[in-house]
Amino acid sequence: MTEPIPALPEDWQRCLVVAAHPDDIEYGTASAVARWTAQGKQVTYLLVTRGEAGIDGMHPDEAAPLREREERAGAGEVGVEIVEFLEGYRDGVVEGGLGLRRDITRAIRRHKPEVVITGTFAITMRGGMTNQADHRVVGLAALDATRDAGNRWIFPELADEGLELWGGVRFVAVAAGEPPTHGVDVTGLPLERGIASLAAHDAYTKGLGAGGFAPGPFLTWVARQAGPSVGVEAAVLFAVHQMTFDGPLPWE
């Protein structure tokens, strides 16, 4: 019998979740967020785009403010009060590079998270589906910016904005990352709140197929598929990238 993977450490207080689009966080991660906010942790959302290219048949000028409102409503369902959107990045054509890294680094230095959560930057997602371009770019930029935030010689201009170095991120947890290394038990109320968070994206989910999209059955199925990996009924899985060593150094 395969041993369950360990639970994601929860001995921290502040977390920054970085995503490319409204609704990205709600496909699982929001259930974990609901668990953490119920514990009194502070979770902040940072969205790179407003998802304006995500609703077929709706002009981006109309879709952007609608999707921003839905994201804020979804965040509220899981206890997140701070939702920020970067400026100057267009949905579907986000370019990686120093500009994006700098903007995410700025947010990390400002919010001083102990944990950063982002989405997978792999070319192929779990299940074999090709990952969307913005997801790949933003996920990798978030990982790199976590280290940039603690280096005084990278983006020194941020010091002129009064932003101090922040090297206090212990780990970056990548949602849907392969292979998963840690899990979060979302059985019960956290999963219910995560479902409500995705359901808040009503206009977006109605555009997914002729019959629309039912968040409850989908998220329940995904969480129950992941649960046995952690030894629980329902779970969200992450691939963890350590930024600092916990405990003795491995060569000592």
pLDDT of the residue at 213: 74
Cut 0.75: pTM above it: yes
pLDDT of the residue at 181: 97
pLDDT of the residue at 56: 87
Instruction: Work out whether strand 235-242 and strand 171-175 pair parallel, antiparallel, or are unpaired.
Output: antiparallel
Report how far apart, in Å, the C-alpha atoms of 20 and of each of 34, 128, 139, 197 are: 20, 20, 8, 17
* C-alpha to C-alpha distance for 39 and 56, rounded to whole angstroms: 38
Quick check: 16 and 108 in contact, CB under 8 A? yes
**Full strand arrangement of the beta sheet holding 14-19:** 82-85, 42-47, 14-19, 115-119, 171-175, 235-242, 182-185
* C-alpha to C-alpha distance for 136 and 63, rounded to whole angstroms: 23
* C-alpha to C-alpha distance for 115 and 12, rounded to whole angstroms: 8
* Ramachandran class of 161: left when φ > 0, alpha when ψ lies in -120 to 50, beta otherwise: alpha
- Reported as a single tens digit per residue, the pLDDT across 111-166 is 999 999 999 999 988 777 899 999 999 999 999 999 999 999 999 999 999 999 99
Give the pair of three-digit tokens for residue 15.
Answer: 């977390």
* C-alpha to C-alpha distance for 177 and 111, rounded to whole angstroms: 24
3-state secondary structure string across the chain: CCCCCCECCCCCCEEEEEECCCCCCCCCHHHHHHHHHHCCCEEEEEECCCCCCCCCCCCHHHHHHHHHHHHHHHHHHCCCCEEEECCCCCCCCCCCCHHHHHHHHHHHHHHCCCEEEEECCCCECCCCCECCHHHHHHHHHHHHHHHHCCCCCCCHHHHHHCCCCCCCCCEEEEECCCCCCEEEECCCHHHHHHHHHHHCCHHHHHCCCCCCCCHHHHHHHHHHHHHHHHCCCCEEEEEEEECCCCCCCCCC
Residues whose CB falls within 8 Å of the CB of residue 216, separated by 6 or more in sequence, listed in order: 195, 199
Domain boundaries of the chain, sorted by first residue: 14-242
pLDDT of the residue at 230: 96
The listed CATH number (3.40.50.720, 3.40.50.20, 3.40.50.10320, 3.40.640.10) that belongs to domain 14-242 = 3.40.50.10320
pLDDT tens across the length of the chain (252 residues): 578 999 999 999 999 999 999 999 999 999 999 999 999 999 999 999 999 999 888 999 999 999 999 999 999 999 999 999 999 999 999 999 999 999 999 999 999 999 999 999 999 887 778 999 999 999 999 999 999 999 999 999 999 999 999 999 999 999 999 999 999 999 999 999 999 999 999 988 887 764 567 899 999 999 999 999 999 999 999 999 999 766 665 666
